[in-house]
Amino acid sequence: MSKIQDNLVMQWLSWHFKDAPIEIIEGWKNFLRFSVEFFSIIPLLKTLISPWKRLADPYSGGIFNLGENIQVLITNSFSRVLGFLIRSSVIACGIIFTVLVFFGGLLVFIAWFFLPVMIIVGLFFSLMLLF
């Protein structure tokens, strides 16, 4: 074994400042992917103005049946507006959640590097309480 492998402190430093941050970033990316997939942000953006639950009436009255065509137009427009409102609400919630996941992951990543200092400071102050 080499001297670096024999030294437990060096192994810990290598793990804490090299290996673990890579794993934290991988987990962070997985959480971000999950949030985008869970809220289906990309598919919802592609179908943003589609009718809600594909509820649309066909235009079957012919060109001369103006009253029925207007009624179908209003119904289909209402279905599209409803679909837009619901999809945009879900997209907004998904984006807010994804931003929170991003900043939460950033906080964890930064805190990871300060964790040894926080442990030493915590031990120091806890010992100060004893005396």
pLDDT tens for each residue of 30-84: 999 999 999 999 999 998 888 877 766 676 766 777 777 788 788 888 888 998 9
What local confidence, expressed as pLDDT, does residue 57 receive?
65
On whether the pTM is more than 0.75, the answer is yes
Closest to 53 (Cα-Cα) out of 82, 22, 90: 82
pLDDT for res 52 = 75
CB 55 within 8 Å of CB 79: yes
Q: How much is the pLDDT for 2?
A: 58
Eight-class DSSP state of 52: G
> Whole-angstrom Cα distance, residue 57 to residue 68?
11
pLDDT: is 109 or 131 the higher one?
109
Mean pLDDT of the chain: 88
The whole-number average pLDDT for the span 21-29 is 96
Cβ-proximal residues to 118 (8 Å cutoff; 6+ apart), any chain: 111
Is residue 120 pLDDT above 70, yes or no?
A: yes
CB count within 10 Å of CB 13 equals 13
- What end-to-end distance do the CA atoms of the chain give, in Å? 43
Could you count the other beta carbons within 10 Å of the beta carbon of residue 83?
A: 21
